Amino acid sequence: MVSYCQKALPYEACGLLSGYQATGNTLWKMKNESHNLNRFYMSAGSIKHAFEHMEEKEEELSGIFHSHPSSPAVPSSFDIENNPYPDLAYIIVSFYKGKVDVGCFRIKSDGKVLPLELIVTEE
Ligand SMILES: [Zn+2]
């Protein structure tokens, strides 16, 4: 995920994670269709396409990730206001000041941000 986000610099990269019971087994690299340097946008069509393949693999959507090329690994106010998935892991890969940092959160629908523990296992 980090190397994928790194390649997209200076743009934000984004994607989805799916697996069994809140694991991120599969990484879905999604096209960032925003041309704005600090925004990301995944089209409904590409999300639907990913969902179909998740179903084939009998996996469920468990997380959403995007990168912050030049800000810390915490959700921006825009991220908090525009998160359609209050029950999923919300992962941010930051390259702030040249350092790689990964933050994992749950953004509740009331705007509360709860940190989640991110457990990284081997690929
Ligand atoms: Zn963001």
Provide the pLDDT confidence category of residue 84 given band limits of 50, 70 and 90. confident
Q: 3-state DSSP call for residue 29?
A: strand
Q: What is the mean pLDDT of residues 46-72?
A: 95
Q: What is the mean pLDDT of residues 40-48?
A: 93
Find the 38 Cα to ligand 1 centroid distance in Å: 7
pLDDT at 121: 67
- The sign of the torsion formed by the CA atoms of 88, 62, 48, 69 equals positive
* φ, ψ of residue 55 in degrees (nearest 5): -65, -45
Average pLDDT in the chain = 92
pLDDT at 25: 87
Find the 90 Cα to ligand 1 centroid distance in Å: 10
* φ, ψ of residue 122 in degrees (nearest 5): -65, 155
pLDDT at 122: 58
Flag the least confident range among 3-12, 14-23, 62-71, 100-109: 14-23
pLDDT at 117: 86
Find the 55 Cα to ligand 1 centroid distance in Å: 27
Find the 103 Cα to ligand 1 centroid distance in Å: 11
Max alpha carbon distance in the chain (Å)?
40
Q: What is the pTM of this model?
A: 0.90
List the one residue out of 68, 66, 70, 121 whose CA is nearest residue 89.
Answer: 66
Cβ-contact 106, 80 below 8 angstroms: no
